[in-house]
Copies of this chain bind each other. A is one copy, B any other.
Amino acid sequence: MCSQTITPSCSCRLKHYCGVAGVSSLKEANLPQKLFYALFSLQHRGQESAGITYNRGDELVTYKDLGMVSQVLTHYLAEEHLSDVALGHVRYSTQGANRIENAQPFSVRSNKGQISFAHNGNISNSDELRESLFAQGSIFSGTSDTELILHLLSRSAKKEFEENLLDTLPRLQGAFSGLFIFGKKLYAVRDPYGFRPLVMGKTNDLTVFASETCALDTLGVNVAEEVEPGEIIAVENGRIDRIDFGKQKKKSQCVFELIYFARPDSTVFGYSVHMLRKKMGAALAAVDADGGDIVISVPDSGNSAALGYSVASGLPFEHGLTRNHYSGRTFIEPTPEMREFGVRLKLHPIKRAIKGKRVTIIDDSMVRGTTSRILIRLLKEGGAREVHLRLSAPEIKHPCFFGIDIPTKDELISNRMTPEQIASFIGADSVSFLPIESLRACVDNPDDFCYACFTGEYPFKVRDRSARRKN
């Protein structure tokens, strides 16, 4: 890739683990362009790399690179590439070498023919599986689960690709919501726990899969249903086959998708993300709503909850912080001291709105507390008399083995401090979190979710060494 002196400035506190989209068309269409739109709308799920695979006649073509959708895939906006089937991927930002090697989709030639694969998730028994493949002489060019899964698939002795999937998928432990192309057939798969979302929508000509419904909306594909946990959906020529490979498991949907990751206009796990966040905000107000003259949000992730909080508490909603639209753009962050400038360039207090006020500010969650600390300082400098920070998520205390890149236990501020200590550390007048019971009460089926990052109760026992970030 071209040497770049500019690195993405991501102030996201939790790293997303990718987004996927795929399209199968009844007749040849410019599917790469459709994927541009779909992936563009999933950009929030991964900014490190983008890529697509599509068929050109009987051949699969893959194009991927480090960068944003609008950089990597720009030429697909203008060019026409007629295809029957296509899939794409956006990937979150990591550090270090060999990064291009892990970009997705991953396309290989095997004894079955060409296969392309892209997924969102994290295989928690990948070390074990990798060891076994190593023992059999397999080689790995990268370190991703994606490549691992393709190895397993290729070694399946079964004739049919569906059978290969049925052979392989049950061996995978952990989170995967993925898409395959084999021949001109598109396969969507979702792990039996359903950690990560994956939806399907249809028009007359198209069958579309995506991590979130917002990608379907962009394509004007309105009717969406979920790929069920433990299900394979195979699509070709408009024919849809749904195959159960492990539906018996208890659902463990990632509640953090609803709290923070997903776009507010998406419907995820059957919930309107925006509406659910408003509910969380209201729940937060029910717990602890004194002390404020106004309610403001940390834009944009706190917007929905702040509105819910305002309605429930009766405190007036204000725009106390504005967000610079240009701050998403890349620029150098050469020194740690410039981090603070990064926040300052992105979020701006509206002094006249907060001056002399007791401000309740709603954010979605707290990881290290670093950004919160800068924010509180900005608000106080801006004249806020008091600042009360309310988080619409419980305290994060445990790592995630299913696709979120949570820092180590030591880095998580809630493992080191009580809310009172945090308040003192970040300079807030008070800090409080949404209790886990309140969070559970926001959803209709609380047992269908994974809360492990808050509770440490994982849906199954995970060998700790797999906890290292792999994908």
Query: A residues near B, CB below 8 A?
Result: 1-3, 5-6, 37, 40-41, 43-44, 61-63, 65, 68-71, 74-75, 77-78, 97-98, 100, 106-111, 115, 134-141, 143, 150-151, 154-156, 214, 217-218, 263-265, 267, 272, 274-275, 300, 303-304, 307, 311, 316-319, 322-326, 328-332, 334, 338, 341, 344-345, 348-353
Residue numbers in B under 8 Å from A304 (CB-CB): 319
Of B44, B139, B156, B218, which contacts A137 at CB under 8 A?
B156
Smallest beta-carbon distance A297→chain B, Å: 10
**A267-B350 Cα distance, complex, nearest whole Å:** 9
> In the bound complex, do residue A111 and residue B97 qualify as a contact, i.e. CB atoms below 8 Å apart?
no
> In the bound complex, do residue A328 and residue B331 qualify as a contact, i.e. CB atoms below 8 Å apart?
no
Q: Known contacts A1-B65, A75-B3, A108-B139; is A37 also within 8 Å of B345 by CB?
A: yes
Smallest beta-carbon distance A109→chain B, Å: 5
Can you show 30 pairs from A to B with CB atoms below 8 A apart? A2-B2, A2-B65, A3-B74, A6-B74, A40-B345, A41-B345, A43-B324, A62-B98, A69-B326, A70-B331, A107-B141, A109-B134, A110-B134, A110-B137, A111-B137, A137-B155, A139-B150, A139-B151, A139-B154, A217-B351, A218-B345, A263-B322, A265-B350, A272-B351, A272-B353, A274-B353, A275-B352, A275-B353, A304-B319, A323-B325
> In the bound complex, do residue B111 and residue A331 qualify as a contact, i.e. CB atoms below 8 Å apart?
no
> In the bound complex, do residue B135 and residue A111 qualify as a contact, i.e. CB atoms below 8 Å apart?
yes
Residue numbers in B under 8 Å from A75 (CB-CB): 3
**A110-B147 Cα distance, complex, nearest whole Å:** 13
**A218-B140 Cα distance, complex, nearest whole Å:** 35
Q: Known contacts A65-B2, A77-B334, A329-B328; is A348 also within 8 Å of B265 by CB?
A: yes
Of B69, B154, B350, which contacts A138 at CB under 8 A?
B154
**A267-B353 Cα distance, complex, nearest whole Å:** 12
Residue numbers in B under 8 Å from A137 (CB-CB): 110-111, 151, 154-156
| Nearest B residue to A355, CB-CB | B272
| Nearest B residue to A155, CB-CB | B137
| Nearest B residue to A4, CB-CB | B2
Smallest beta-carbon distance A176→chain B, Å: 18
| Nearest B residue to A303, CB-CB | B319
Residue numbers in B under 8 Å from A151 (CB-CB): 137, 139
**A159-B34 Cα distance, complex, nearest whole Å:** 50
New A-B contacts (5) at CB < 8 Å, excluding given A115-B139, A264-B319: A1-B1, A2-B65, A68-B329, A263-B348, A264-B350
Smallest beta-carbon distance A65→chain B, Å: 6
Residue numbers in B under 8 Å from A74 (CB-CB): 3, 5-6, 331-332
Of B65, B303, B316, B351, which contacts A265 at CB under 8 A?
B351
**A107-B326 Cα distance, complex, nearest whole Å:** 28
Q: Counting chain B CB atoms within 10 Å of each CB, which of A41, A75, A137, A325 scores highest?
A: A137
| A-B pairs, 7 with minimum CB distance | A137-B155, A272-B352, A111-B134, A108-B139, A2-B2, A70-B331, A265-B348
Smallest beta-carbon distance A338→chain B, Å: 7
**A190-B272 Cα distance, complex, nearest whole Å:** 51
Q: Known contacts A263-B348, A267-B352, A304-B319; is A326 also within 8 Å of B328 by CB?
A: yes
Smallest beta-carbon distance A67→chain B, Å: 8
Residue numbers in B under 8 Å from A37 (CB-CB): 341, 344-345
Smallest beta-carbon distance A182→chain B, Å: 13
Smallest beta-carbon distance A72→chain B, Å: 8
Of B44, B77, B264, B275, which contacts A331 at CB under 8 A?
B77
**A138-B3 Cα distance, complex, nearest whole Å:** 33
Residue numbers in B under 8 Å from A332 (CB-CB): 74, 77-78
